Structure 1
């Protein structure tokens, strides 16, 4: 199966998710700086979720530029990943409105963990679908950035549970940069 239409579907779903994200930002109650300041956590989560969405798009765009073929396992695995990814607007709103509570922050961290695990599964299935694609196999050989995400978010969850719940969002944020930095370290 060719990947062009599948890539277009991923792009369309991500565009819808970003649209919902921006529409979920509450309006300021008044036209003052103070009213905007009250929404700082909502804006923080929006910005982070936008970066997550863009990073997911960038990852898939780069990945599918070297994928030659896919099969039904890959399609369904990516479909499930996109289903989980579609909860991003809800999780963003939930965590943004309850910034200092453990459970909303935990759910945001759990979301990060789930996406990282799903990306690892997708990578495995892509390699199985096209074992002759040496470039794909080299690129998907090691998942250091996904491991960094999992470890950082788990550390954040432990700190968040015992000390300070926003530590989870901080570790999620740091893990985003880990995803960007780790491939550069791996290539050396």
Structure 2
């Protein structure tokens, strides 16, 4: 199967997820700086959720630009990934309203980890579907950034459980920055 319609579906779902997240940000109660400051947690978690969505789109856009064909395993695994990812608007609001509680932060991080694990599966299935595509094989050869994401968020969960629950959200943000930096580091080391 060709990938254009599949890519369009992914783009549409991510656009809807981002729209729902932004619509969930509460309005400031009045036009004052204090009112804006009062919704600082809602805005912070929105910004991180937006970056997560953009990062997910960017990863898929870059990978699917070199994919020649997909199969049912890729389609269904991506469908499951998008289902988990579609929980992000709810989890964003849940964390914003319970910023210093571990359980909402844990669920937010768990969504992030499950998405990363499913991305590993999608990468494997893409490589299996098109073994002759050398560019794809090389692009999906090493998964340091995804492994780093899983480890970083897991560390955030441990810190969040014992010390400071927002550490989970902070580690999600750090892992996104790592995804952007690790490929550049790998290029310089090669």
TM-score relative to the length of structure 1: 0.98
Residues 67-122 of structure 1 show CA distances to partners (whole Å, capped at 9, x for unaligned) of: 00001111111111111111111111111111111111111111111111010010
Q: Does 1:72 align with 2:75?
A: no
Displacement, 1:36?
A: 1.2
Residue of structure 2 equivalent to 1:149: 149
Q: Which residue matches 1:124?
A: 124
Task: Give CA deviations for 1:108-140 in whole Å, capped at 9, x if unaligned.
Answer: 111111111010010001001001111101110
Residues 1:49 and 2:49 aligned together: yes
1:8-157 to structure 2, matched below 5 A, reads 8-157=8-157
Q: Which runs of 5+ in 2 are unaligned?
A: none
Q: Distance in 1 between matches of 2:151 and 2:20?
A: 29
The whole-number CA distance in structure 1 between the counterparts of 2:85 and 2:109 is: 13
Confirm or deny that 1:169 pairs with 2:169.
Answer: yes
Distance 2:78 2:55 in 1: 16
Deviation at 1:66, TM superposition (A): 0.3
Aligned length: 188
Structure 2 CA distance for aligned equivalents of residues 19 and 172 of structure 1: 20
Q: Which runs of 5 or more structure 1 residues have no equivalent in the other structure?
A: none
Task: Give, in angstroms, the shift of residue 187 of structure 1.
Answer: 2.0
- Whole-angstrom CA distance in 1 between matches of 2:101 and 2:71: 42
After the TM superposition, list the runs of 4 or more consecutive aligned residues in structure 1 that deviate by more than 6 angstroms: none
Question: Over aligned residues, Cα RMSD in angstroms?
Answer: 0.8
1:185 aligns to 2:185 (yes or no): yes
Q: Give the corresponding residue for 1:158.
A: 158
Q: Distance in 2 between matches of 1:147 and 1:36?
A: 36
Q: Name the CA distance, whole Å, in 1 between partners of 2:47 and 2:128.
A: 35
CA separation in 2, counterparts of 1:74 and 1:51? Answer: 24
Displacement of 1:30 after TM fit?
Answer: 2.5
Give how far 1:153 is off.
0.7
Length-normalised TM-score, structure 2: 0.97
Displacement of 1:34 in angstroms is 1.1
Q: Provide the rounded CA distance (Å) in 2 between the counterparts of 1:83 and 1:96.
A: 21
What's the CA shift for 1:31?
A: 2.6
